[in-house]
């Protein structure tokens, strides 16, 4: 009995030291923070995470919603081995699972956006023993039309410049092609004109010989008469 106590004490102290050396387990959540979508369309609420522990059947994901104009927090979606859709409320038949836990993706898809969907969507992930960590948030704004950001304008400008360069290259290539074709046609016409001019005098010379023969015949005929 007394011999076992020191052994237990050593094991206890070793366990305490290993616990102290083990890094603090916390789940890191990544979301786009701010999202804008058009009324009546579908939107993907992206949420990814990182965890020290391997992903298994103990993983749980909870999505909630806080309206922008205030009010109680509302349940949106829950995942634990299988997805669990809301059976009632504003999100009934409007939320589907669009994640892949093996790739650390726990996103959802929200259908048929409405203006009263404006608010903050929270994504909480627990992957035991990693259960601590901040909750991810997405501030969704449902608008009539999407406003163009500076990135959109920059992408549009770059795309327009590339399209203009392509058009200029096509125009230059076509211009050179038609120019060469016109030169070839002119050269061909010059050759035809030269060949025609060379053949015409020969015909005229034959005609002149015939005329001379006729004149000689008439002259001789008059003499004999």
Say yes or no: 173 and 113 in one domain: no
- Tell me, yes or no, whether 122 lies in a domain: yes
Q: Give the single-character DSSP code of 109.
A: E
- Tell me, yes or no, whether 3 lies in a domain: no
- Percent over 70 (pLDDT), the chain: 68
Asked if pLDDT for residue 211 goes beyond 70, the answer is no
Asked if pLDDT for residue 84 goes beyond 90, the answer is yes
pLDDT tens digits for range 19-69: 444 455 689 999 999 999 999 999 999 999 999 999 999 999 999 999 998
Q: 89, 112, 143 — which closes off a domain? A: 143
Say yes or no: 51 and 35 in one domain: yes
Which residues have a Cβ under 8 Å from the Cβ of 98 and sit 6 or more positions away?
44, 107, 108, 109
Asked whether 138 and 35 are in contact (CB, 8 A), the reply is yes
Residue with tokens 């059976």: 87
Say yes or no: 92 and 38 in one domain: yes
- Tell me, yes or no, whether 195 lies in a domain: no
Say yes or no: 46 and 79 in one domain: yes
Asked if pLDDT for residue 2 goes beyond 50, the answer is no
Q: Mean pLDDT over all residues of the chain?
A: 79
Say yes or no: 132 and 31 in one domain: yes
Q: Which residue has the higher pLDDT, 145 or 10?
A: 145
> What pLDDT, on a 0 to 100 scale, did the predictor assign at position 185?
78
> What pLDDT, on a 0 to 100 scale, did the predictor assign at position 130?
87
> What pLDDT, on a 0 to 100 scale, did the predictor assign at position 22?
45
Print the domain residue range for 163.
146-185
Which residues have a Cβ under 8 Å from the Cβ of 144 and sit 6 or more positions away?
38, 39
Asked whether 70 and 122 are in contact (CB, 8 A), the reply is no
Say yes or no: 116 and 165 in one domain: no
pLDDT tens digits for range 93-142: 999 999 999 999 999 999 999 999 999 999 999 999 988 888 999 999 99
Q: How confident is the model at residue 3 (pLDDT cuts 50, 70, 90)?
A: very low
| Integer Cα distance of 184 and 177 in angstroms | 11
Asked if pLDDT for residue 194 goes beyond 80, the answer is no
- Tell me, yes or no, whether 29 lies in a domain: yes
Q: How confident is the model at residue 182 (pLDDT cuts 50, 70, 90)?
A: confident
């Amino acid at each position: 009995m007394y011999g076992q106590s020191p052994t237990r004490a050593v094991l206890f102290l070793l366990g305490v030291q290993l616990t102290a050396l083990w890094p603090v387990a916390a789940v890191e959540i990544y979301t786009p923070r701010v999202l804008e979508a058009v009324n009546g369309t579908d939107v993907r609420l992206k949420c990814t995470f990182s965890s020290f522990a391997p992903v298994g059947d103990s993983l749980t994901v909870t999505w909630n919603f806080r309206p922008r104009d205030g009010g109680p927090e509302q349940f949106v979606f829950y995942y634990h081995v299988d997805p669990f859709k809301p059976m009632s409320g504003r999100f009934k038949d409007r939320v589907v699972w669009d994640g892949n836990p093996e790739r650390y993706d726990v996103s959802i898809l929200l259908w048929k956006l409405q203006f009263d969907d404006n608010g903050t969507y929270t994504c909480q992930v627990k992957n035991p023993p990693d259960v601590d960590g901040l909750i991810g948030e997405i501030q969704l704004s449902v608008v009539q039309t999407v406003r163009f950001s500076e990135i959109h304008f920059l992408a549009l400008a770059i795309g327009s410049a590339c399209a203009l360069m392509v058009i200029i290259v096509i125009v230059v290539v076509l211009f050179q092609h038609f120019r060469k074709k016109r030169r070839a046609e002119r050269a061909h016409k010059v050759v035809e004109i030269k060949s025609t001019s060379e053949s015409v005098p020969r015909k005229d010379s034959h005609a002149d010989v015939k005329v001379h023969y006729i004149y000689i015949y008439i002259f001789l005929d008059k003499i004999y008469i």
